[in-house]
Amino acid sequence: MNEQELITQGKHYLLDTYSQVPVVFATGKGCYLTDVEGKQYLDFVGGIAVNALGYGDAGLSLALKKVLDSGLLHCSNLYYNEYAIKAAKALTELAGMDRVFFCNSGAEANEAALKLARKFGHRSSPIRTDIVTMVHSFHGRTYGAITATGQDKYHANFDPLPTGFSYALFNDLESVKATVTDATCAILVEPIQGEGGIIPAEKTFLEGLRALCDEKDMLLIFDEVQCGMGRSGKPFAFQTYGVQPDILTLAKALAGGVPAGATVTKGKANNVFTPGDHASTFGGNALAMAGACEMLSRLKDTDLCAHVEEMGIYLRGKLDELVSKYPSLCTVARGKGLMNGLVLTVPPRKVVDACFERGLLVLAAGYDVLRFVPPLTVGKVDIDKAIAIVDSSLATLA
């Protein structure tokens, strides 16, 4: 079947939940994807911040192959597997936290955090069940996670939604203070908002949330599903702020591309769940955990994070140049590490499409942001190439 025939079948058989770009990918190497007709694309989407090691990473492939060859693709969480234990130890040590629940996605990692927070609240009072989240946040597509998501467009047509969620303004501590009540058990926030438009939190905001949670005995939950696992230039984005959460949620790059999620706890969040409270058939599965062990050792034992920091500064410098060159199209570049956004005055989709035509994958974030979340292994040559394509795409719109 050729590419067009495959796309026709895809449109027929797959439920219409995505606005899919008309391409079918077949192979990947480094920062490049190749479609079934042999056309190559430079990938600055990276599976939306998933493929941190790029495509075809030898170390990751070897780690996964070892599990496949052992035959232990999966065993129930009724039993232990050594990969999950090793990943839990490596993850908690790297995050300076204590314990972890493994699942398969970001939404699930947040569901576990929401349930844990409510059980934590119940311990002091049956009415302490409310969770404060931020406007423009994104936490996933399951019912708890979409309700936690502070964007109406994700709620429309899916009511009734679970109750007990309130929304405060991001980077506005007074707004959070005004939203918190005696019924609040937790605050959930992304240290760098992703889907909302690549908006880093201010340090004083996260410090203020930490102090507020300590004062009122609430749990501080950081959703690092998108901004975690080295993307910020440190293993976890909260480490760039020096503010430690009680619960950290992860997914996306956690296992380098194999589906995996984690809800990591510290201190007062450690012993809230007891057997029977929560579970996942596939969570902590040997294949995914071998991927997580490889990712975590790359963050801890190699210079990957330093590389991200250096490439992030380089990329942001190039984006700043585009802002200067096209002031009527681009207003500002912002981000941390290799999670960056270019704020546009035109719909991002126009630039995304123009870049696609020229062999570059980029994507939108929020209503007006062009997002760059390439593999963390990206180098200057590919950054220059990507910027040249964005430049020529903007030129057609200027």
Shorter beta-carbon distance to ligand PLP: residue 140 or 284: 140
The C-alpha atoms of residue 188 and residue 138 are separated, in whole angstroms, by: 10
111 near ligand PLP, rule: CB under 6 A: no
**Closest residue (Cβ) to ligand PLP?**
106
Is-contact 295 310, C-beta < 8 A?
Answer: no
Q: Rounded to the nearest 5°, which phi and psi values hold at 246?
A: -85, -30
DSSP state of 150: B
In the complex, what is the shortest distance from the CB of residue 195 to ligand PLP, in angstroms, rounded to a whole number?
5
226 near ligand PLP, rule: CB under 6 A: yes
Q: Which stretch binds ligand PLP (CB under 6 A): 26-34, 180-188, 218-226, 293-301?
A: 218-226
Shorter beta-carbon distance to ligand PLP: residue 110 or 244: 110
DSSP state of 55: B
Using the rule CB under 6 A, which residue among 223, 246, 294, 382 binds ligand PLP? Answer: 223
107 near ligand PLP, rule: CB under 6 A: yes
Closest to 55 in 3D by CA, of 25, 21, 84? 25
Is beta strand 247-250 parallel, antiparallel or unpaired with respect to 360-361?
Answer: unpaired
In the complex, what is the shortest distance from the CB of residue 263 to ligand PLP, in angstroms, rounded to a whole number?
12
- Buried/exposed 212-228: b ≥16 CB within 10 Å, e otherwise: bbeeeebbbbbbbbbbb
234-263 binders of ligand PLP (CB under 6 A): 251
In the complex, what is the shortest distance from the CB of residue 235 to ligand PLP, in angstroms, rounded to a whole number?
16
DSSP state of 154: G
105 near ligand PLP, rule: CB under 6 A: yes
Q: Which stretch binds ligand PLP (CB under 6 A): 26-34, 53-61, 101-109, 265-273?
A: 101-109
Shorter beta-carbon distance to ligand PLP: residue 247 or 354: 247
Is beta strand 130-134 parallel, antiparallel or unpaired with respect to 184-189?
Answer: parallel
63 near ligand PLP, rule: CB under 6 A: no
The C-alpha atoms of residue 180 and residue 138 are separated, in whole angstroms, by: 20
Radius of gyration of the chain (CA): 21
Is-contact 61 234, C-beta < 8 A?
Answer: no
Q: Is 233 left (phi over 0), alpha (psi -120 to 50) or beta?
A: left
195 near ligand PLP, rule: CB under 6 A: yes
Shorter beta-carbon distance to ligand PLP: residue 338 or 354: 338
In the complex, what is the shortest distance from the CB of residue 253 to ligand PLP, in angstroms, rounded to a whole number?
11
Residue numbers of the site for ligand PLP (CB under 6 A)?
A: 105-107, 110, 138-140, 190, 194-195, 223, 225-226, 251
